[in-house]
């Protein structure tokens, strides 16, 4: 049975989500952009079964909070607001609704996350390999490094004893995982993790061809949390 979805953020990504949601039998009951953002704070938002929030780091927490306060479950793909995510999770628990926030909805990227952890665990035994990362996105992306890159880095650090923190930099201190962000043209997103030694390189790369992977994953996540309570991740959605 189709859901009633509210879209908070109606740019290129929001329109891609709309197209895929409609193709899967769902109804878009509200499309919120900067021009009609006041609807977030009205009774209208309560018409939705689930909100899909995809805006920017500055607006994300206020948007999510307004929806959760209204008793509506939220899936959020905005990145760059990590410090406030725990408060949103706590609010969802208090309000008895569902909340899912991810740096990337793409099914392929979430498989990539899992492979990245397996490789880091293996490479923990081989200190002769230096690890570094690069991420490439379109010039309109506001946060740098990307949320996806930060997720990849955090999961590497959790499994690789020789790395203690990440930095947006060129390779420096031995305990630092370097992330090199690139902004060019309209690139949807490429993330690479590279282990280099004097003998060889091992490289993992995920390249998005368009926005459809993100949009499809967002709709699948909304389908998963509809009618549920609590905090979820894409691992829950995909069974990874």
Q: Which of 126, 140, 119 is nearest to 186 (CA)?
A: 140
Catalytic residue among 26, 141, 163, 206: 141
**How many CA atoms, within 13 angstroms, populate the side-chain half-sphere of residue 145?**
24
Are residues 119 and 202 in contact, defined by beta-carbon separation less than 8 angstroms?
Answer: yes
Taking every pair of C-alpha atoms in the chain, what is the biggest distance, in angstroms? 63
State how far the Cα of 186 lies from the Cα of 208, in Å rounded to an integer: 11
* Known catalytic residue at 141: yes
Q: Write out the DSSP string of 119-151.
A: HHHHHTT-TT-EEEEEEEE-TT--SSS-HHHHH
Spell out a b/e string for 145-183, using b for 16 or more CB atoms within 10 Å of the CB, else e: bbbbbbbbbebbbebbeebeebeeeeeeeeebbbbbbee
* Known catalytic residue at 125: no
Token digits of residue 207: 């390249």
Neighbours of 203 (CB within 10 A): 10
State how far the Cα of 18 lies from the Cα of 31, in Å rounded to an integer: 9
Examine residue 31 and say whether the peptide bond preceding it is cis (omega within 30 degrees of 0).
no
Catalytic residue among 26, 137, 191, 206: 137
Catalytic residue list: 137, 141
């Amino acid at each position: 049975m189709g859901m009633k979805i509210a879209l908070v953020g109606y740019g290129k990504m929001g329109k891609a989500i709309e197209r895929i949601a409609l193709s899967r039998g769902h109804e878009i009951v509200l499309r919120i952009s900067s021009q009609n953002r006041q609807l977030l704070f009205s009774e209208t938002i309560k018409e939705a079964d689930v909100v899909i929030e995809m805006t920017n780091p500055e607006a994300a927490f206020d948007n999510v909070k307004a929806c959760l306060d209204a008793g509506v479950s939220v899936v959020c793909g905005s990145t760059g607001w990590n410090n406030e995510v725990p408060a949103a999770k706590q609010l969802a628990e208090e309000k008895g609704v569902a909340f899912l926030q991810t740096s990337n909805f793409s099914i392929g990227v979430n498989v990539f996350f899992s492979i990245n952890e397996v490789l880091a665990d293996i490479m923990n035994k081989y200190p002769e390999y230096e690890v570094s990362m690069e991420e490439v996105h379109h010039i309109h992306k506001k946060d740098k490094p990307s949320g996806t890159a930060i997720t990849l880095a955090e999961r590497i650090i959790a499994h690789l004893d020789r790395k203690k923190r990440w930095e947006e930099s060129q390779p420096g201190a031995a305990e630092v995982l370097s992330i090199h962000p690139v902004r060019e043209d309209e690139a949807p997103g490429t993330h690479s993790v590279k282990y280099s030694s004097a003998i060889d390189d091992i490289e993992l790369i995920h390249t998005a061809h368009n926005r459809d992977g993100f949009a499809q994953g967002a709709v699948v996540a909304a389908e998963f949390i509809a009618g549920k309570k609590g905090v979820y991740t894409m691992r829950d959605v995909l069974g990874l």
